[in-house]
Structure 1
Amino acid sequence: MPISREYARSLFVDLTQSATVPLDPDELLHMPGLRQHGQVFFGDIALRCYKHKARWMYDERDIRRVGQALADVLLDTRDVVDVQLPPYRDISDRDPEEWSRPDWRRRLVSWMFDQARQKAQEGRPYEEWDDSWRQIQANGLPGNLTWEEFVAASSRHRHSQNIAGTRPLRLLTWSGEGWLLPRAYAELLDRWEQREGELISRARLCSCGAVGPYWGGWRRNTRTGYVTMCPPCSGMACRSYTGQMRDVLYESSRRRGARADEYLCRLCKESPATAWDHCHDHDFVRGPLCGSCNTREGTASPEWFLREEDKVRHLLECRACRQQRTLPRRYHTGVVLAHLERTERHGRCRRPPYVEELAYEHGVHRFELSCGWHASGTWTKDISAAEKATLVHAFVEAALAAQDGNAPPGSRSSTQ
């Protein structure tokens, strides 16, 4: 019987009240690893995710089976083993695919050094940064990081600092010479590494036999769940979108009679589309998008989405936006942020500032700008509603001119 993620979490909590393994039931809500292999891990036990009526759910029998199995796991906290954490490796020393593979020891090391670096650099100008945070102290942690600070940081970022649905810092201890974990728990995490790696390897295979990227680049979100399709197979299964629904209202009968999943996603041009994206301000269809691209359009920061010309062109598939030389309202502030990043500087510094909106009062937007290279480089900038409208109009004019191949000098496309 399919059940919602919320009910699955509640049931799982009841079943695992006596579990000695420190679990994080919120993993059932966030579904980490969903795109990579369609499973949620708790220790070395994989729990399958299902898509039912366009919603991700679980099977109640699976929840009960996994919950009971975890409740039966016994950890002897007196039988511990030195986990022998590997040395720190900088980003430049990492192979991207190798670094993405399941490795709980390396993940623990990454958490420690990331937090130590953040503490060492916080509040200090760039010119004073050094590598002192890499030195291991008597407490086993790098830099000046204390255990209390490390645990507190883990609590603030609890969903990104789980391993296999468990909370390792609740069991990790420092002996004075090495980091210790209960033997049964360390063995459980070793089995998780192997099983997650096997699932990811199987999920990389397209039906034609081609092997996709390790991080799930060929995984497509369809109506029934994720499938693996290489770009050639996606191209053969779906046709390219060439404006068949342009200027059609989302609520029209013509849109309701057309299937978005017959087309490739208009943005990534690799995944089968799952929905007709439309302008929420004017209701015109913009084109077919896959689940991932549709989610990014709706939830990604507007200034990030506007950085790529193909995404701006997609927004301007709305007839009203084109005619009125505007964008959906949620993107207006992003246009202003991008403008300030391009035009404002701290003195003679050539680095673009970090821009953040502080407030909107009486028709005026106030932005705070800060230079990451100079501790004193912080100032504010006020933009009126009229100025914002002018910037949005100019942005759209430049985007349309670039689309036609005759961008004027100083326009958006020539300044980025």
Structure 2
Amino acid sequence: MPISREYACSLFADLTQNATVPLDPDVLLYMPRLREHGHVFFGDIAVRCYNHKARWTYDERDVRAAGQALADLHVDLDDVVDVQLPAYRDIPERDPEEWHRPDWRRTLMSWMVEWARFKLVQENRPYEEWGDWRAIGGNGLPGGLTWEEFVAYSSQARHLQNIAGTRPIQLLAWNGETWLLPRAYTELLDRWEQREGELVDQARLCRCGAQGPYLGDWRRNTRTGYVTMCPPCAGESTQLYTGHLRGVLYDAHRRRGTRADDYLCRLCKQSPAAAWDHCHEHGYVRGPLCGSCNTREGTGLPFELECSGWHASRWTKDVTAPETAALVQAFVDATLAAPESGPATG
């Protein structure tokens, strides 16, 4: 049966309260990487998310099975291995797809470097004095960072303490030469890397067999959850907007009962819409836009302005950002040059 995220989190926490692997049940609430593959991970165990009556939910059986499996997982804290953290590399030095692939060892190193940088910023030291701040010190941490500082900084940000629904910092130890973690735990995270990569690759496939971008640009949120559709398939499965909400207020009940993702984006006419664009001055619906066009509108993409708020003289005009800037400048110049007795015309 479907259960709420809140109940799923509480249930999972109860089931795993004595687990030997430190877990973060709250990932069931904020659902990291939901768009990429539609699951929440605890180690290598994936719990599927469902869109039920416009709310994200879980199947109680899935939550119970995951909780029981992790409660039964035995981790010998004395059987440890060298985790061999890689050297840190900036994002521009990496292939974008490689950077976003799951890699828990790289993530641990990134945390350390990020907090070493944060410490230097907090100390208000000029960049010229940072020196070789990425150099690893005798305690295994870069930039003069102490273990106490690393733990304290990490506690301030959830995404810098959680890998696959687990908390590795609670198990991490330095032996004077290298970082150590329990063998069973490292094997669990290795299996997670493989499993998450498989789910992402599966989720990238459109029904026609075309493979989408790794970051999920073809992923669309529908009534039943995220699906992958290439632009041609998206065009076949959605309809063109014909202006039937012309003159309807954005907050009106009639608009709320019509889903934007039933229509193609009014601008690019390639992707399913994600939201209803509306005039912020008059409040009337202008049309459905996909997420990309909704954020790019007015920043260089030609777009159609149309609002039925001007009942006496409705107008439609295709303009670009430079043209918009020129129109605004012309209006300002005309206003400043006009007599004080009345507004400028034109």
Q: TM-score range by the shorter chain?
A: 0.7 to 0.9
Q: Which ranges in structure 1 are unaligned for 5 or more consecutive residues? A: 298-304, 324-398
Q: Which residue of structure 2 aligns with residue 389 of structure 1?
A: none
Structure 1 residues 210 and 131 mapped into 2: Cα distance closer, same or farther (>3 Å)? farther
User: Does residue 408 of structure 1 match 2:326?
Assistant: yes
* Distance in 1 (alpha carbons) for counterparts of 2:308 and 2:35: 34
Q: Distance in 1 between matches of 2:235 and 2:12?
A: 41
Query: Relative CO higher for 1 or 2, CA cutoff 8 Å, sep ≥ 6?
Result: 2
Residue 61 of structure 1 pairs with residue 67 of structure 2: no
Q: Give the structure 2 partner of residue 264 of structure 1.
A: 264
CA–CA separation in structure 1 for the residues paired with 2:267 and 2:131: 41
Post-superposition offset of 1:89:
1.1
- C-alpha contact (below 8 Å) 1:401/1:407 kept by paired residues: no
Task: State the Cα distance separating 1:93 from its structure 2 match.
Answer: 1.5
Residue pairs, 1:244-393, within 5 angstroms: 244-250=244-250, 255=255, 260-266=260-266, 270-273=270-273, 276-278=276-278, 282-289=282-289, 308=299, 319-320=308-309
Structure 1 vs Structure 2: percent identity of aligned residues? 66
**1:113 aligned partner:** 113
Number of corresponding residues: 325
- Superposition pairs of residues 11-410 of structure 1, within 5 angstroms: 11-122=11-122, 124=124, 128=128, 130-241=130-241, 243-250=243-250, 255=255, 260-266=260-266, 270-273=270-273, 276-278=276-278, 282-289=282-289, 308=299, 319-320=308-309, 405=323, 407-408=325-326
Tell me how far apart the structure 1 counterparts of residues 73 and 40 of structure 2 sit (CA, whole Å).
18
C-alpha separation in 1, matches of 2:256 and 2:191: 48
Label 1:101 to 1:402 Cα distance change in 2 as closer, same or farther (>3 A). closer
Q: 3-state SS of the aligned residue for 2:41?
A: strand
SS of the residue corresponding to residue 133 of structure 1 reads coil
Q: CA deviation at 1:293?
A: 6.5
Q: How many angstroms does 1:215 deviate by?
A: 1.3
Q: Deviations over 1:162-203 (max 9, x none)?
A: 100000000000010100000000000000001001111111
Report the CA distance between 1:216 and its aligned residue. 1.0
**Which amino acid counterpart does residue 201 of structure 2 have in structure 1?**
S
Q: What letter matches 1:56 in structure 2?
A: W
- State the distance in 2 between where 1:401 and 1:269 align: 17
**Structure 1 residue 278: deviation in Å?**
4.6
Counterpart amino acid of residue 19 in structure 2:
A
Q: Which contiguous aligned blocks of 4+ residues in structure 1 show a shift greater than 6 angstroms?
A: none
**Is the 1:220–1:227 Cα contact (8 Å) retained in structure 2?**
yes
Compared with structure 1, are the counterparts of its residues 127 and 200 closer, same or farther at alpha carbon in structure 2 (3 Å cutoff)?
closer
Cα distance change on mapping 1:183 and 1:109 into 2, 3 Å: same
- CA distance 1:243–1:129, shift in 2 (3 Å): farther
Q: State how far apart, in whole Å, the 1-side matches of 2:281 and 2:30 are.
A: 30
CA distance in 2, matches of 1:179, 1:188: 17
User: Structure 2: which 5+ runs fail to align?
Assistant: 312-316, 331-346
Q: 2 CA distance for matches of 1:280 and 1:3?
A: 37
1:204 and 1:214 in contact (8 A); partners too: yes
What letter corresponds to residue 326 of structure 2 in structure 1? P
What is the deviation of 1:408? 2.6
The alpha-carbon distance between structure 1 residues 242 and 170, as it changes in their structure 2 partners (threshold 3 A), is same
Structure 1 SS opposite 2:232: helix
> Is the 2:301–2:320 Cα contact (8 Å) retained in structure 1?
no
* 8 A Cα contact 2:277 2:286, kept in partner: yes
